[in-house]
Amino acid sequence: MPIQWFPGHMHSTKKAIAERLPDIDVVIELLDARLPGSSANPLLAELTRGKPALKVLNKQDLAEPELTERWLAHYRALPGTNALALHASVPAPARQLVAACRALAPLRGGMVKPLRVLICGIPNVGKSTLINTLAGHRAAKTGDEPGITKVEQKIMLASDFQLFDTPGMLWPRIVVEQSGYHLAASGGIGRNAYDEEEVAMALLSNVRRRHGDRLRARYQLDEVSTLSDDALLAEIGRKRGGLRAGCQVNLQKAAEIAINDFRAGAWGRITLESPGDFAQWSAHALALDAERRAARQSRKK
């Protein structure tokens, strides 16, 4: 599913990050623990290359612990990188990232050389909630729609710890198809950029491979393995009141029910991808993209 959702403020965010980076000591990238690979911004990786990095897997309470540990190990194996998992609204674990940032830049700190940290992430990943938790007060606006933060903010977490908050930013073209579905299902992309029925069916197809029993229990279904994706979505609509007049299933309503249940954790703790999954999807997508580019070049000759 091709997705392009790059509102005007994201162009200015990219420019602001590039201008701020020379003065930054550590870059925090907030990721969604349910889709760590898909929520990692490749554009941000290019902009921040060479900077000490802290990958923070937020919403860990909604993700599968074993897969979260695998993702943490994956990121910790990268040079100049540490990783931790937390839930943005819980104060004690959130404060761990302050210590983690200091460890990544041990020569910074004190009034003469305050530690300057940039925090980034895709829209609606919980960045503003985390900042408010760290600051101990409402320092950033929060909401359940992507794109709440529109301008850079500077928050003093200590006399020698400066945190620069930036608006959530995606990248202009999402090459990995599965990433598009996962970002849409998680709420990281504006609703006008994707088809909810298509996203819901892709989400159900992924989840039922390992957690079909949870879907059966949630929607009181006899079986899910024998149903096609659209038939499963229709059954969810039928069971949860997504019906039009004449008992016809409203698939749009059914899709909203399924997506909202996933976001709320109604299916239990779900992680949509492993490091191996994401590496395989990325390699396949990059190969296809290279083929398309070569074909376009060939046609121009």
Residue 146 has pLDDT above 60, yes or no: no
Which among 24, 11, 81 has a CA at the least distance from the CA of 53?
81
Residue 3 has pLDDT above 70, yes or no: no
* Torsion over CA: 70, 31, 117, 18 (sign): positive
Q: Which CATH class is domain 177-287?
A: mainly alpha
Rounded CA separation 255/146 (Å) = 19
* Torsion over CA: 76, 118, 171, 266 (sign): positive
- Quick one: pLDDT at residue 292? 86
| Direct distance between the N- and C-terminal alpha carbons of the chain, in angstroms, rounded to an integer | 29
Could you give the angle at which helices 251-264 and 196-219 cross, rounded to 10 degrees?
A: 70
214: region left, alpha or beta (phi > 0 left; psi from -120 to 50 alpha): alpha
Residue 151 has pLDDT above 80, yes or no: no
- What does 229-295 look like in DSSP terms, one character per residue? HHHHHHHHHHHTT-B-TTS-B-HHHHHHHHHHHHHHTTT-S-----HHHHHHHHHHHHHHHHHHHHH
For domain 8-165, the CATH superfamily is P-loop containing nucleotide triphosphate hydrolases (3.40.50.300)
Rounded CA separation 228/248 (Å) = 18
pLDDT, tens digit (0-9, with 9 covering 90-100), for 39-77 = 999 988 888 999 999 999 999 999 999 999 999 999 999
In the chain, list all ranges with CATH 3.40.50.300.
Answer: 8-165
* pTM for this entry: 0.89
- Quick one: pLDDT at residue 148? 47
Torsion of CA 6, 180, 76, 71, to 10 degrees: 150
Tokens representing residue 114 in the block: 């305050």
Tokens representing residue 79 in the block: 């040079």
Across the range 109-122, mean pLDDT stands at 90
Tokens representing residue 230 in the block: 């659209």
The identity of residue 105, as a single letter, is A
Which among 238, 206, 207, 205 has a CA at the least distance from the CA of 221?
238
Residue 157 has pLDDT above 80, yes or no: yes
Which among 81, 39, 44 has a CA at the least distance from the CA of 60?
39
Query: pLDDT class for 142, splitting at 50, 70, 90?
Result: very low
Per DSSP (E only), the strands in the chain are 26-32, 53-58, 81-85, 115-121, 153-158, 161-165
Across the range 74-102, mean pLDDT stands at 91
- Quick one: pLDDT at residue 128? 87
pLDDT, tens digit (0-9, with 9 covering 90-100), for 7-46 = 566 777 888 888 889 999 999 999 999 999 999 999 888 8
- Count other C-beta atoms under 10 Å from residue 214's C-beta: 17
Rounded CA separation 28/116 (Å) = 11
- Quick one: pLDDT at residue 245? 75
Report strand pairing: 161-165 vs 153-158: antiparallel
* Poorest-pLDDT segment among 151-155, 200-204, 264-268, 270-274: 151-155
Rounded CA separation 247/72 (Å) = 47
Residue 215 has pLDDT above 80, yes or no: yes
Question: 88 or 184: which carries more pLDDT confidence?
Answer: 184
Tokens representing residue 142 in the block: 């929060």
- Quick one: pLDDT at residue 143? 47
- Quick one: pLDDT at residue 31? 97
- Residue keyed to tokens 């849409």: 184
